[in-house]
Amino acid sequence: MSDDRALDRVPPHSHCVVCGKAIPEGETFCSEKCRMKYEKMRKRQSMSMWIMVGILVAVGIYLTVKGA
């Protein structure tokens, strides 16, 4: 790989967390569209996280009741 020198010349910047496009440093998204996409994705992720937590709690209660 000989990309290291080329990377040094690129000014500090970030990448859009959704599409990976180069954006000014400190920014998170390149556009409102990507921001909305990310919000949707995050909502879905937190939803599945709560389902997981619910299952774990249910299993925990089940094991506690069963063991008692």
Binding footprint of Zn ion on the chain (CB under 5 A): 16, 18-19, 21, 30, 34
Nearer to Zn ion, 20 or 54 (CB): 20
Rounded least distance, CB 47 to Zn ion, Å:
23
Nearer to Zn ion, 8 or 25 (CB): 25
Rounded least distance, CB 23 to Zn ion, Å:
8
Tokens of residue 14, six digits: 């970030």
Give the β-pairing of 22-24 and 13-15: antiparallel
Residue 15, burial from CB neighbour count under 10 angstroms (0-12, 13-18, 19+)? middle
